[in-house]
């Protein structure tokens, strides 16, 4: 069996880091992007320990030339690219989650649009030709319920809603290829930096949902099942919910639970018009 090759952008922390570990559990070769080598060294060790092969791939996703260099490197070293997970968000989390209206927050949050959303487009742009030549390939753009309900900031919502519409339109362009392109909404993530907190360590208003928070590896596990799905092309262009894919493919979280979807409280994906 040919080793499958993936790129995970924004893999130095959070969802990207955990997604890479999830992919590694299925033995994938994973190129991990981040701004510096130091940010990625520990992630590579985690990927290797989980059963995959990790490669450090420093990349500023605000620099188109560096993104093109990354894709050229993967083609030169591996000759294929089966999976691209666009997760880089260019977000200042502390500023994003600070209370207050958008005009009282740092204007730098607009980078979620002009770097975060744009970086998904740019990485897909440079990767698509190689992925089409590879065949049976998949681009997953990480989005969230913030595409349809208010979360944190208008910049956040615009980036997520833009991702979902962009995926819909990219899939139309790729309809005559064996490249599938989807948007994926994970649940509320219990990432590494809060993994070991007790329920009582969380704010009071969050304590009831802590048991339902997803580990970030779950996203990687459902993505590998989608990549393996011979009917994945029928899903191309759609916005998918990770928890629903988990139920479809029989995937559980690393702690054994079946993650919930949040559609009742946070909304459902927009259905776009196809003429």
**Which uninterrupted H or E stretch holds 1?**
none
DSSP string, 80-146: ---EEEE------HHHHHSSS-GGGS-GGGGHIIIIIIHHHHHHHHHHHHHHHHH-SEEEEEE--GG
What dihedral do alpha carbons 158, 161, 167, 170 form, nearest 10°? Answer: -50
- How far apart, in whole angstroms, are the C-alpha atoms of residue 222 and residue 269? 18
8 A C-beta contact, residue 55 and residue 251: no
Catalytic pick among 31, 121, 125, 156: 156
DSSP string, 205-229: GGTTTGGGPBPTHHHHHHHHHHHH-
156 is catalytic: yes
What dihedral do alpha carbons 211, 215, 221, 223 form, nearest 10°? Answer: 100
- How far apart, in whole angstroms, are the C-alpha atoms of residue 153 and residue 26? 36
- How far apart, in whole angstroms, are the C-alpha atoms of residue 79 and residue 54? 16
- How far apart, in whole angstroms, are the C-alpha atoms of residue 160 and residue 77? 32
- How far apart, in whole angstroms, are the C-alpha atoms of residue 69 and residue 36? 15
Instruction: Provide the annotated active-site residues.
Output: 156
């Amino acid at each position: 069996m040919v080793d499958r090759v993936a790129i995970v952008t924004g893999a130095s922390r959070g969802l990207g880091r955990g997604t890479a570990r999830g992919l590694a559990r299925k033995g994938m070769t994973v190129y991990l992007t981040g701004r510096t080598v130091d940010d990625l060294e520990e992630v590579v060790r985690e990927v290797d320990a989980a059963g995959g092969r990790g490669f450090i791939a420093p990349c500023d996703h605000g620099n188109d030339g560096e993104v093109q260099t990354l894709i050229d490197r993967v083609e030169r070293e591996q000759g294929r690219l089966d999976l691209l997970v666009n997760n880089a968000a260019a977000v200042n989390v502390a500023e994003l989650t600070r209370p207050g209206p958008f005009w009282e927050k740092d204007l730098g949050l607009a980078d979620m649009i002009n770097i975060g959303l744009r970086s998904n487009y740019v990485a897909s742009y440079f990767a698509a030709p190689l992925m089409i030549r590879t065949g049976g390939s998949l681009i997953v753009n990480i989005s969230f319920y913030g595409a349809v309900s208010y979360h944190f900031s208008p910049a956040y919502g615009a980036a997520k809603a833009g991702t979902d519409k962009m995926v819909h339109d990219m899939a139309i362009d790729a309809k005559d290829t064996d490249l599938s392109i989807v948007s994926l909404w994970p649940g509320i993530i219990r990432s590494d930096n809060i993994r070991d907190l007790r329920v009582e360590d969380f704010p009071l208003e969050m304590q009831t949902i802590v048991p339902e928070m997803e580990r970030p590896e779950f996203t990687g596990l459902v993505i590998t099942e989608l990549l393996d799905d011979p009917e994945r092309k029928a899903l191309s262009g759609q916005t998918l919910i990770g928890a629903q894919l988990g139920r479809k493919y029989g995937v559980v979280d690393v702690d054994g639970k079946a993650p919930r979807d949040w559609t009742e409280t946070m909304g459902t994906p927009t259905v776009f018009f196809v003429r």
